[in-house]
Amino acid sequence: MGVMECSRCDNIMCDHLLFGRHYLCGDCWSELLKVKETWPELITPSDAEKRVRAFLETTRGTFDDPIPRDEAFDRIVWRRDT
């Protein structure tokens, strides 16, 4: 696509265009694909669009690789050992 600034970070070499005006670099595109894997198997087009638009409002590196649910929960919830 040429030299276009990414909509999520400072990269200027973007290969992906979303909604006709948002450019994504390869790193952000890869992150979007990882996030997409967490979506439900069946999803309406409008819900998919909302999720992509919400993704565009984040910054690069916002999304971690998925880990088991209990481990993620334990990382954010402190509990006193009794």
Predicted TM-score (pTM) of this structure? 0.72
Task: For the chain, give percent helix, strand, coil, nearest 5.
Answer: 40, 15, 50
Q: Is 8 exposed, middle or buried (0-12, 13-18, 19+ CB in 10 A)?
A: buried
Between CA 3 and CA 41 the distance in angstroms is 34
pLDDT at 65: 67
Confidence of residue 1 (pLDDT cuts 50, 70, 90): very low
Best CA proximity match to 23, nearest among 4, 10, 36: 4
* pLDDT confidence of residue 72: 76
Q: What is the mean pLDDT of residues 67-74?
A: 79
Render pLDDT for 5-25 as a digit per residue (tens, 0 to 9): 999 999 988 889 999 999 999
Q: What is the pLDDT of residue 14?
A: 87
Structure tokens that stand for 41 in this block: 């198997």
Beta bridge partners of 24: 16
Amino acid sitting at position 14: C
Task: List, for residues 25-69, the tens digit of each pLDDT value.
Answer: 999 999 999 999 989 999 999 999 999 999 999 988 777 666 777
Q: Which of 33, 39, 31 is nearest to 9 (CA)?
A: 31
